[in-house]
Structure 1
Amino acid sequence: MDLATIIGLVLAFGSFFGSILMEGGSLAALINPSAMLLVFGGTIGASMVSVPLSTVIGIPNVVKHAFFGKHMDTAHVIQTLVGFAEKARREGLLALEEQAREIDDEFLKKGIQLAIDGTDPEMVREIMETEVAFLAQRHAEGAHFFTTLGGFAPTLGVIGTVSGLVHMLANLSDPGSMGPSIAAAFIATLYGVCTANLMFLPLGAKLKHSSQEEVLVREIMTEGILSIQAGDNPRIVEEKLKAFLSPKKRKAIEEALQAA
């Protein structure tokens, strides 16, 4: 479970609702079914028009990944690859076959198995890089959908407000109702702006960041597998893989490897 996403959403919406209550407002005043229908229904509908149906069908999985996605430990991945390199150096690639069956990550398992099977290194690289490219594309589609939601929501909110004001101006026989009518009209804009900036856009950014992290780990795995297949010294494998990381992360990985 990604606690940062959950805590961030709770903090964002909690701050919003808390500020209303602190000013003496009523949360019940924010409930407007017609505005909800226009903003949320219109936003989702407009966003569905902008993407393929397959992307829309996959959104529940994207949401699940945003909240419950498994964080890939870079240090553990490098440590595992260096361990494979040491064993392959001592006993040969075939010695990794039993360990390969126990690997949980399907991408890493496939790469190690290709190396064990004696697949041409260029072919291994091509297969792995193709998988990474399509992984990045799938993740980008999910992130784009949430960014699109964040773009349409404020606009639909403004449309709802304009619609409410038009309705109010068409019924000016009761001046005393103008205040509540104007407030009700602006609820739609509030819905659009809040959901866009407190939920849709942050989730889109989070998915994009998660995708970049996963792609980086996959690239590290690819280089590690190719180095193991080439028979590189484990120390060289370690240095190659640490080159993908920032100095701070390199130091953490060095400490982890020394502890192991």
Structure 2
Amino acid sequence: MNFLGIILAVGCIVAGMLLEGTSPLMMLVLPAFLVVVGASFFACWVQFPLSDMIGGLKCILWLLSPPRIPFDSQVELLVGLSTTARQQGLLALENSIGSASDDYTRDGIQMIVDGVDKDALKSILENAIAVEEAKYEPYAKMLEAMGGYSPTMGIIGAVLGLIHAMSLLDRPDELGPAIAVAFVATIYGLVVANIICLPASNRVKGIIGQMTLYKYMTLEGLVSIAAGENTMMLKRRLAVYTGEKNENA
């Protein structure tokens, strides 16, 4: 549904043009597109390595299909692990490693089985969260930066178009359409920034935040299991995270 928002936003702009009697085909100007999108992209390349550029563009696909973050099923898994550990001991958790849906949880369970101290377990899992946040943060920043550059590139495109229009002063019949085309780049810049890049950046930040919350919930559960806390105490700990998840959904 997130990508649908982009379509509807652009649709509102097109509808406004039609109501004013302007043809949307006037917006199909390849030079303006190249100046805004192309120049903004390569300006970001100056700021970010290519790997972050590619990662940022891939994150745009989250608007179509955001990653599934299974809070509820994770709570069920952790409660089940706690029950197993209390009844059969920590070594019995080895049989449940395959039930985990992500490597983070599987690694945590394996460390419990291997007898890693709960303080060391907490430290390792917290470091893993920090590393993942550091991995994804540049992707959101790349989209945000492109949203910042594109309006300026739109102005550059408009100025270039006006320079061309000034060369047509001796042809008044061509001057008006040339000026109109010149301002298309400005519209491109504003649309790319305010309908695509900046909303996408904020959406990526939101998803990263949910992924981080999910892993902190998992960390809390695994440390609780390693410490031998009873299952009811574990449920109380996890309820805090699921409550926050529901408020942000």
Same fold judged by TM-score > 0.5? yes
TM-score, normalization by structure 1: 0.89
| Contact 2:56/2:140 (<8 A) preserved | no
CA deviation after TM superposition for structure 1 residue 181, in Å: 1.3
CA deviation after TM superposition for structure 1 residue 245, in Å: 4.5
User: How do 1:1-260 residues align onto structure 2 when only pairs under 5 Å count?
Assistant: 4-246=1-243, 249=246
In structure 2, relative to structure 1, the CA distance for the partners of 1:177 and 1:134 (3 Å cut) is same
Secondary structure of the residue that 1:34 maps to in structure 2? Answer: helix
CA deviation after TM superposition for structure 1 residue 101, in Å: 2.0
Secondary structure of the residue that 2:241 maps to in structure 1? Answer: coil
CA deviation after TM superposition for structure 1 residue 147, in Å: 0.5
Instruction: Write out per-residue CA displacement over residues 136-187 of structure 1, whole angstroms, 9 at most, x where no aligned residue.
Output: 1121111111101100011000111111112222331112322111101100
Cα RMSD between the aligned structures?
1.8
| Contact 2:154/2:189 (<8 A) preserved | yes
CA deviation after TM superposition for structure 1 residue 244, in Å: 3.1
2:128 corresponds to which letter in structure 1? E
Equivalents in 2 of 1:248, 1:116: separation in Å?
29
Equivalents in 2 of 1:77, 1:65: separation in Å?
21
In structure 2, relative to structure 1, the CA distance for the partners of 1:249 and 1:32 (3 Å cut) is closer
**Matched residue count:** 247
Q: Tell me the equivalent position of 1:255.
A: none
Instruction: Write out per-residue CA displacement over residues 189-228 of structure 1, whole angstroms, 9 at most, x where no aligned residue.
Output: 0100011111111100000000000000000001100000
Equivalents in 1 of 2:240, 2:40: separation in Å?
43
Instruction: Write out per-residue CA displacement over residues 41-77 of structure 1, whole angstroms, 9 at most, x where no aligned residue.
Output: 1010101111122212333432334432322122221
TM-score, normalization by structure 2: 0.93
Which deviates further from its counterpart, 156-165 or 71-80?
71-80
In structure 2, relative to structure 1, the CA distance for the partners of 1:66 and 1:135 (3 Å cut) is farther
Secondary structure of the residue that 1:203 maps to in structure 2? Answer: helix
In structure 2, relative to structure 1, the CA distance for the partners of 1:158 and 1:58 (3 Å cut) is same
Instruction: Write out per-residue CA displacement over residues 125-145 of structure 1, whole angstroms, 9 at most, x where no aligned residue.
Output: 121111111111121111111
Stretches of structure 2 that go unaligned for 5 or more consecutive residues are: none
Equivalents in 2 of 1:19, 1:72: separation in Å?
38
